[in-house]
Amino acid sequence: MDHLQPFRARNVLSLPMLKNQGWRLKRYMILANGKSFDSSIASAAGIEAIKRLPDAGSLMDGSGNHGVSFQIIHFAEIAVVSPVFYWQWGNVLASIDQMRAKWETPTVFGDGVKEVVGCIWEMNIINFEVNAWTHALLNNDGVPTERLATYLEQHFV
């Protein structure tokens, strides 16, 4: 049963934040065994994420998105898979349709499986980001822009 193999941690890299079209996109790379970082794939994934995100909103807008998001670029065994999430309404984590590129054309992203949130390795990062948002933004310490700066400085390691 190949699908029930023992869990093994994968290398996770924190990539530079991408700022584009009003979005602040925190980015992570997960490398499956035997896969290596490729900046052209990471760049293509970031560009595609910005294209697919809705128009960026404001941190102070309680009825829309906050222009703050994070992306996971997973160099998985079978494809490059990239879920992208963004914050809206203060405490809601939304997502765009999962992005996926075949290894034959790893910089050309189509849609992945719509009902998939993410795999176990991606969930570790999502959990970290939810906790970072909760502790940095949803507290009463400092003004919202300072709290946002604290959130943006935190990265999964």
Helix 120-137 / helix 144-153 crossing angle, nearest 10 deg: 150
At 154, the amino acid letter reads Q
- Report the predicted TM-score, pTM, of the whole model to 2 decimal places: 0.95
Distance of CA 99 to the CA centre of its chain: 11
What is the pLDDT at residue 59? 94
What is the pLDDT at residue 155? 97
pLDDT tens, per residue, the chain with 157 residues: 478 888 899 999 999 999 999 999 999 999 999 999 999 999 999 999 999 999 999 999 999 999 999 999 999 999 999 999 999 999 999 999 999 999 999 999 999 888 788 899 999 999 999 999 999 999 878 899 999 999 999 999 8
- Cβ-contact 18, 25 below 8 angstroms: yes
What is the pLDDT at residue 41? 98
What is the pLDDT at residue 140? 77
What is the pLDDT at residue 112? 86
What is the pLDDT at residue 117? 86
CB burial of 111-136 (b: ≥16 within 10 Å; e: otherwise) equals: ebeeeeebeebbebbbebbeebbeeb
What is the pLDDT at residue 96? 95
What is the pLDDT at residue 157? 82
- Cβ-contact 112, 97 below 8 angstroms: yes
